[in-house]
Amino acid sequence: MARETDQERLDRLIAARHAAVSITTVEEDYALGLVRNAAINLGRSLRLWSMVGGVRDGLVADVPPIPETEHPAAGLYYFGQHLSEPTVLATLDLVGHLRDERTLRLLRELIARTARSGNTLVMIDHSATLPPVIAGLATAFELTLPDEEELDAILRDTLRVLHQEKPIQVKIPRPTFANIVKNLRGLSRRQAQQVIVDCVCEDRQFNDADLETVLARKRQMLSATGLLEHIETPATLEEIGGLRNVKRWLHQREQVWSEKAKSFGLKAPRGVLLLGVQGAGKSLCAKAIATGWRKPLLRMDVGALYDRYIGESERRLRDTLRQAEAMAPNVLWIDEIEKAFASAASRSIDGGLSQRMFAALLTWMQEHQASVFMVATANDIEALPPELLRKGRFDEIFFVDLPGREAREQIFTIHLRKRGRDPRGFDMDKLADQSAGFTGAEIEQAVISAMHNAFAEGAELDTGRVLAALKNSPPLSVIMADRVEALRKWAAARCVPAD
């Protein structure tokens, strides 16, 4: 069954006589286009209000606006007095004015009138901060991100318009064109158009080289939102030391998204939880999953989701998860998840916001259909809501402990090679023995510190300098020995060792 388009969904709501519909978006032109089309499709007139233009005809451009209706109260009053025919009413950026009691009262009365008359008021705003009394009356309408078919059309239309302005040379193989369309997923319509304009604005060409431009601009746009960040991952699993059980788990499930696996009766895994000592390699483990499955890695900044306005935090979470789904297949990484939802067990701390956010995340984990694999990392077991650890919530819970001797030797090898040194020139047995209790991050810092010392002395890096760096920097496992041991005991019967 084909997914309903935004236009079909909005037409259905208006035809079903929903008294008020709320659309929160930064793509005002797209939302307004949907409203105009809905009015035309359903044979209704359209009246549009904004603070700049007042009330005007939303379908005929050259009709002058109604005088003295720029104030929101005046505009809403006019709407309420002119509902004699089937009409769609639309407002732009009304929410900010609802702090005024008179305007709020008029809006409540207008919605009551649209309900009685079978008309619909559509509120288009950039913020989701509707007063509770209005939020309870309005149907929230969430715009979807464009799918590949729509992105293909946007790409072709944008190139055609730009070519009409000034000729563009388009020379691109069909597979590359399809790859560019695929990599535009997760962007809004406006963002996708802007990316294409960026590709051709200087050289007036659209070719193979523009795939890298698309990827670079997409990363910039994702980072600009502060909610999703594209993370670079190692090229191969050989660049990651240890984690033998994780690597085996990944290898066994590498083909699980295929049709063959589906016909065999297997469902694709939905996520893992990585617990462990701080700095032991949980972040590296998340990267290993993306590398092993050759999928892009997206990191969600859950802390940036929280907003002081009622309803805005939940909307940000929904939008971010929807964006991740639009960019599927991928690995979605939530780092230090316990910090984001630590107060989910208590309503008294933040009025239940964390609890609502946590419940929304759990529901998404259980119900989403897109190929998004979630990786959650956590340092503090005690701060995790118990519901997160329930059986079946994650496909597996791995405990990332301090690296063993063999893993430490691999980690030294990786970091020495990364810095242009041949590991065969070092006493790897001694380095592995003397680094017991060190995390992978601490081993890397010891190598870097030893290199600084060698450079300052005008000498070459050697085993002795690395050993000295280890000796001068006691590991976290020594400083926080009791906490590390308690974490190990908790995980012993509850988690699968990552290595």
Instruction: Report whether 298 contacts 116 (CB < 8 A).
Output: no
Three-class DSSP category at 478: helix
Question: Considering the domain 6-140, what is its CATH architecture?
Answer: 3-Layer(aba) Sandwich (3.40)
Q: Which residue type is seen at 26?
A: V
CA 286 vs CA 292, 299, 360, 394, 417: distances in Å: 10, 10, 23, 14, 22
For domain 237-400, give its CATH number from 3.40.50.300, 2.40.50.140, 3.40.190.10, 3.30.70.141: 3.40.50.300
Tens digits of pLDDT across the chain (499 residues)? 567 899 999 999 999 999 999 999 989 999 999 999 999 999 999 999 999 989 999 999 888 999 999 999 999 999 999 887 899 999 999 999 999 999 999 999 999 999 999 999 999 998 778 888 998 999 999 998 898 899 999 999 999 999 999 999 988 888 889 888 988 888 889 999 999 999 988 889 998 888 888 888 887 887 766 678 888 887 677 777 778 888 888 888 888 888 888 889 888 888 888 888 777 778 888 888 888 888 888 898 777 776 655 567 777 888 888 888 888 888 999 888 877 666 555 544 555 677 778 888 888 888 888 888 999 888 877 777 777 777 778 888 888 888 889 888 999 999 999 999 999 999 999 999 999 888 888 899 999 999 999 999 999 999 999 999 999 888 877 777 777 788 888 888 788 888 8
Indicate the pairing of strand 120-125 with strand 139-140.
unpaired
Q: Which fold has domain 405-479?
A: Helicase, Ruva Protein; domain 3 (1.10.8)
| Predicted TM-score of the model (pTM) | 0.69
Q: Which residue type is seen at 471?
A: K
What secondary structure letter does DSSP report for 495? S
Q: Which fold has domain 148-225?
A: Helicase, Ruva Protein; domain 3 (1.10.8)
Are both 148-225 and 237-400 of the same fold?
no
Q: Which residue type is seen at 222?
A: L
Indicate the pairing of strand 45-50 with strand 54-57.
antiparallel
Domain boundaries, the chain: 6-140, 148-225, 237-400, 405-479
Cβ-Cβ contacts under 8 Å for 127 (sequence gap 6 or more):
24, 95, 96, 309, 312
